[in-house]
Chains A and B, each alone.
Chain A
Amino acid sequence: MAELLQFTFSGLTVGAVYALVALGFTLIYNASDVINFSQGEFVMLGGMVTVFLALGGVPLPLAALLAIATATLVGLALHRFAIETARGANAVTLIMITIGASIFLRGVAQVVFDKRYHSLPPLFGDDPIRFGGAAILPQSLVVFAGAVVILVLLWGFIDRTLFGKAVLATAANKLAARLVGIDTRRTVGFSFAVSAAIGAIAGFLITPITLTSYNIGTLLALKGFAAAMLGGIGSAFGAVIGGLLLGILEAFAAGYLSSQYKDAVAFIVILVVLLARPQGLFGRAKVERV
């Protein structure tokens, strides 16, 4: 029982990060139909920029804010100079552009920073909290709380503000949104900025637990993408559930079966889910009109 609890907690912690990355995928996909494979690099930037600013003597909270700002600017630049310039290209071409961007960002990080692993001090120390026989790192709770706060803020923003409504309208039908006077370029750019910021926050929060390095982005992008598809692409709720599920699956597989095969177990489950529900857990099945 204690074991189960332990695995659940560690799964939820990692799952929260996957969920945030998947949420980033979903935001950008909904706004622009682009699958952004450089999503993981935002997580990397969030961690690495904070680490190096902190090493340079900048106070941690300020360093974190600057890191999030950096990632946001990078997200905006990616939209403005790559995605916007290639407007009208087909889906595979756009995906290749984001993969190119991911390789580029990794290359920049390895030059500007270094190739070593880095950590950050946890926000509330590293004395584990005992709960039902399981030990929880305080930072895990921080990660989880951070994810919840982001979700609530995002939901509030989309649901309660006019600009949020414009984002929703763009996601539902870009042409119609443009016809009623919404500047869809701005809403799409906004989705890139928010996705980048969310990724960076996740990177800053998780670094004390999992460490960070210039090349963590690829694997995170892959997991985030898988989580988004598991939930059903385009569904924000699905992305969050998909991320948490993936994290828990990995933790259980690593704990009960074999740590080497944890990714294998996760992907087998994803395959089985997709074969049973080809549109993901919370995606809508499309009926083709002819």
Chain B
Amino acid sequence: MSVRPLNERPLAKDMPALGDRAGSAWRTILGPLERYRLTPVIIIAVLIALAPLLFPSAYYYRVAALVYIFALAAIGLNLLMGYAGQVSLGHAGFMGIGAYAVAIGPVHLGVPGWLSLLAGAAISAIVAFVVGRPILRLKGHYLAVATLGFGLLLAIVFTNEAEWTGGPDGMSVPRLVLFGWSVRGSQTWYWVSGVCLVLGAALAFNLIASPAGRAMRAIHDSETAASVLGIDVARTKLMIFVISAIYASVAGSCLALFNGHITPDAADFLTSIELVAMVVLGGMGSIVGSLVGASVLVVLPQVLTVLHDYEHMVLGLVIMGVMIYLRSGIVPSIAMAFRGWRR
């Protein structure tokens, strides 16, 4: 935090103009003015609609669908990390619950895919509610290690309960059938995941500009101040943890249905780290940033496969470089540079 010396305070007559410009720019990008809150969502929707014009092959649809699915999970995690300020290193666990729900539901229990997706989201919400209560009392690095442990537990269960999950090799996921229409193919899933992303982004922007959203952003900066203003800190954290778990679960279900196959990798520690990396790289507290972060981390490895063995080296360098030189994350850093506004 930087506190300007008192004598540098701008004159009162200069304030309104300065305030308006800086304020509106700040809020369009980082926390939207209520009225314009859906502008970024509309822009995202238009981009999703137009992007296929540039796609030379089905492979591009496939990669883009993966971007949208991970972006959905990243947006949920960003609500928790970037807005409410609570770390989770175990969010892939919820992706795993969503993914295995749409696999186990139809295969073992005869539940239709769409209902399994909803059931998965409900289970994720319940698990998040039960686990979140005790865990969210922890702070900072302790919360990090607790969520990490939680995610790890789920991954271990998925790996070892082979008669249900197929073990380390995973299991195949039956195609989603909606009203007799079989949802399959990269192009179809491009649109399905695109719609999910737009809906998820819209809900997130709604939340941020709402009373509950303000409460959740308040506890990020000062739990003490939030509580003396009547905010139930524990309940607010739990609420946002549950919501972000539902995002991850739905994304996991989409991933499993799209791939037609699921392995415990979707739920493991590395996937959790990848989600965190998407949020941080794109920019904590920036919904658009989560889409950018997901794009970078899904597309980059695809591009880097031409480098074969050098892939990880370059990936590591890119992550380090972005974090060193754009330390607030890609979108907020660019936004700040764009305004020529230094904190």
Binding site for B on A (CB under 8 A): 35, 82, 85-86, 89-93, 96-97, 99-108, 110-111, 218, 222, 225-226, 229, 233, 260-261, 263-264, 267-268, 270-271, 274-275, 278-280, 288, 290
Q: Which of B141, B156, B157, B317 contacts A104 (CB 8 A)?
A: B317
Question: 0/1 per residue, B132-172, Cβ < 8 Å to A?
Answer: 00110111111011101110110011011000000000000
Kindly identify which residue among A35, A103, A111, A226 contacts B319, using a CB–CB cutoff of 8 Å: A103
Contact indicator A97/B323 (Cβ below 8 Å): yes
B contact residues around A275 at 8 Å (CB): 134-135, 137-138
**In the bound complex, do residue A93 and residue B311 qualify as a contact, i.e. CB atoms below 8 Å apart?**
no
Contact B153–A108 (Cβ < 8 Å) = no
A102 touches B145 (CB 8 A): no
Partner of B312, one of A86, A110, A278: A110
For B277, list chain A residues within 8 Å (CB): 96, 99
Write out the residue numbers on chain B whose beta carbons fall within 8 Å of the beta carbon of A106: 312, 316
B156 / chain A contacts, CB cutoff of 8 Å = 260-261, 263-264
Q: Assess whether B152 is in contact with A279, with CB atoms less than 8 Å apart.
A: no
Q: Is the CB of A103 within 8 A of B315?
A: yes
Residue B29 lies at the interface, judged by CB distance under 8 Å to chain A: no
Query: Does B280 lie within 8 Å of A93, measured CB to CB?
Result: yes
Contact A271 B280 (CB under 8 A): no
Cβ of A225 and Cβ of B320 under 8 Å apart? no
Q: Is the CB of B327 within 8 A of A99?
A: no
Interface check B330, CB cutoff 8 A: no
Q: CB distance A260 to B160 under 8 Å?
A: yes
Q: Does B224 contact A (CB under 8 A)?
A: yes
Q: How far is the CA of A100 from the CA of B318 in the complex (A)?
A: 8
CA distance A224 to B172 in the complex (A): 35
Q: Which of B146, B148, B270, B280 is A96 in contact with, Cβ under 8 Å?
A: B280
| Chain B residues closer than 8 Å to A107, beta-carbon distance | 309-316
| Minimum CB–CB distance for A79 against chain B, Å | 13
Chain B residues closer than 8 Å to A35, beta-carbon distance: 141, 144
Q: Is B205 an interface residue (CB 8 A)?
A: no
A267 to B157: give the CA distance in the assembly, Å: 13
A218 partner, pick from B159, B160, B270, beta carbons under 8 A: B270
Query: Given A96-B276, A105-B316, list of 17 further CB < 8 A pairs?
Result: A92-B87, A92-B284, A93-B327, A96-B281, A99-B273, A100-B316, A100-B323, A101-B320, A104-B317, A106-B316, A107-B315, A111-B310, A218-B269, A222-B152, A229-B145, A274-B138, A274-B142
Enumerate chain A residues within 8 angstroms of B319, measured Cβ to Cβ. 96-97, 99-100, 103
**How far apart are the CA atoms of A101 and B139 in the complex, in Å?**
25
Q: With A218-B269, A264-B153, A271-B149 known to touch, is A96 a contact of B138 (CB < 8 Å)?
A: no
Query: Which chain A residues lie closer than 8 Å to B303 at the CB level?
Result: none
CB pair B323 A279 closer than 8 Å: no
Closest B residue to A233 using CB positions: B141
| CB proximity to A under 8 Å, residues B265-307 | 269-270, 273, 276-277, 280-281, 284
Please name 19 pairs of A and B residues whose Cβ atoms are closer than 8 Å in the assembled complex, sorted by A: A35-B141, A86-B324, A96-B277, A99-B273, A103-B315, A104-B317, A107-B310, A108-B313, A225-B145, A226-B145, A260-B159, A267-B149, A270-B146, A271-B149, A274-B146, A275-B137, A275-B138, A278-B139, A279-B142
Which residue of B is nearest A289, CB measured?
B224
- Give the shortest distance, in Å, between B335 (CB) and chain A (any CB): 16
- Tell whether, in the assembled complex, residue A103 and residue B141 are in contact, meaning their CB atoms are under 8 Å apart: no
With CB as the reference atom, state the residue of chain A lying closest to B150.
Answer: A271
CB distance from A112 to the nearest CB of B (A): 10
Q: Tell me the minimal C-beta distance from B336 to chain A in angstroms.
A: 14
Q: A218-B270, A270-B145 are in contact. Are A82 and B324 (CB under 8 A)?
A: yes
How many Å lie between the Cα of A99 and that of B275 in the bound state? 13
Chain B 72-104 per-residue mask, 1 if CB under 8 angstroms from chain A, else 0: 000000000100000100000000000000000
Residue contact A290 to B134, C-beta cutoff 8 Å: no
Contact of A102 (CB < 8 Å), options: B87, B138, B316: B316
A110 to B312, CA, bound (A): 9
Q: Are B152 and A111 in contact (CB under 8 A)?
A: no
The CA-CA distance from A226 to B148 in the complex, in Å, is 9
The distance from the CB of A215 to the nearest CB of chain B, in whole angstroms, is 10
A104 to B277: give the CA distance in the assembly, Å: 15
A89, A101, A218, A264: the one within 8 Å of B152 (CB): A264
- Bound CA span A60–B87, Å: 44
Chain A residues with Cβ below 8 Å from B160 are 260-261
Contact B138 A278 (CB under 8 A): yes
- Hey, which chain B residues are within 8 Å of A268, CB to CB? 149, 153
**Which partner residue on chain A sits nearest B324 by CB separation?**
A86
Q: Is the CB of A85 within 8 A of B324?
A: yes
Partner of A111, one of B142, B146, B309: B309
Inter-subunit contact A271/B146 (CB<8 Å): yes
Evaluate contact between A280 and B316: CB separation under 8 angstroms.
no
